Amino acid sequence: MEDCGGLAACMRGVWKRLGGRDVLKGVTLSVEKGSVHVVAGLNGSGKTTSMRVLLGLYKPDRGVVRLLGRDPRGPGRGELMRRVGYVPEDAQPYERLTGLENLLFYARLYAESEEEAWRLVEEAAKITGLDWSVLERQRAGSYSKGMKRRLLLAAALMHSPDLLVADEPLSGLDAISAFNIKRLITRLAGRGSTFIITTHDLRVAEELADRVTFIHAGKTVFEGAVRDALDSFSADTLEEAFVRAVGGGKG
């Protein structure tokens, strides 16, 4: 079994059966610290399940999983989760709470004191670029899809996690909202944060990724630097490399 030492996130030969079907059939993932790592795959390829296993929401049937060097389902999970941020696919804020109350709720879960919680809220508000009066007065249910996504990203980033996992963070967003979020990720990546971003859109991967993992039909079919992916598949774009990696989509 390959060593996971020094990696921000690591999966080795992970299998997971759900609903009577093997959804993961040997997923391998190596996320280096300080990198933006894109996990790309077709819809239903096992990206979300892989992230859930990585975050300890699912117990793997087989294989090794390490998150910031630790078993995500092992003892001290609460402490481990303080160092991780997560934005699930299609996640929604609490719509009957204001944006500020949403942020305060998560801040209180991460902070040790009320003062620290408010400091995290202020930090999160800065990260999102959302207007304080909008956060304070309007319920999150009235926000646009882009604003909701920024709010969730802020809630995931407020505690300055060592690793942020975002599952399809740009899906369904308009061009401006997607641009704002990509800019936010790029800015934070420049500060040394580690990101795992899943996407089925290879253009997003091309724009953001240092390294990529291609998952197809529950298996890792390629893992490495973006340059290596292009070289390995003699491709000009990641999209082309991906199509070749998955054999044109047959699985």
Partner 1 sequence: MGRARTVFWKEVKDLSRDYRTIAYVVLLPLVALPGMALLSGGLYTAQMVTVGIIDEDGSQLSKAFVEGLAGYIVRSVQGATVEVVVGGRGDFTVIVPRGFGESLTKIDGRTYLTLSYSPGPPVFSAIESAVRSYTLAFERAVVEGRVSSLADAAGLEVNVDSLLDPIEVRVSYVTPGGAPAGREAGVIAFSARIIAFSLFFVVNPAVVFMSDAVVGEKERRSLERLLTAPASPRDVLAGKLAASLLLSLAAAVADSIGIVAFFILSGASFEVGLGLAATWAASTIVLVAFTSGLVAALSAWSGSLRSAQSTSFAVLMVALAIYFSSLIVDFESLPGWAKAVLLAIPYTHASIAIFNASFGEAAGVIIHLGILAAFTILSFIAALRMFEPERLVSFK
Residues forming contacts to partner 1 in the complex (CB under 8 A) are 18-19, 52, 55-59, 77-79, 81-82, 84, 86-88, 90-97, 101, 105-106, 108-110, 139, 152, 155-156
CB 180, min distance to partner 1, A: 20
Amino acid letter, 97: L
If residue 54 lies in a helix (H) or strand (E), which one and from where to where? helix 47-54
Residue 91 or 230: the one with the smaller Cβ distance to partner 1 is 91
Residue 31 or 155: the one with the smaller Cβ distance to partner 1 is 155
CB 248, min distance to partner 1, A: 31
C-alpha to C-alpha distance for 230 and 235, rounded to whole angstroms? 5
Cα dist from 206 to 86, 127, 237, 239, whole Å: 22, 24, 8, 8
CB 56, min distance to partner 1, A: 7
Residue 121 or 156: the one with the smaller Cβ distance to partner 1 is 156
CB 225, min distance to partner 1, A: 28
CB 242, min distance to partner 1, A: 26
Residue 96 or 191: the one with the smaller Cβ distance to partner 1 is 96
Residue 31 or 221: the one with the smaller Cβ distance to partner 1 is 31
Radius of gyration of the chain (CA): 18
C-alpha to C-alpha distance for 166 and 28, rounded to whole angstroms? 18
Cα dist from 116 to 69, 93, 107, 246, whole Å: 27, 21, 8, 47
Cα dist from 188 to 39, 148, 197, 200, whole Å: 18, 19, 13, 22
Residue 109 or 235: the one with the smaller Cβ distance to partner 1 is 109
If residue 206 lies in a helix (H) or strand (E), which one and from where to where? helix 202-208
C-alpha to C-alpha distance for 82 and 67, rounded to whole angstroms? 12
Bridge partners for 98 per DSSP: 139
CB 60, min distance to partner 1, A: 11
Residue 41 or 56: the one with the smaller Cβ distance to partner 1 is 56
CB 54, min distance to partner 1, A: 10
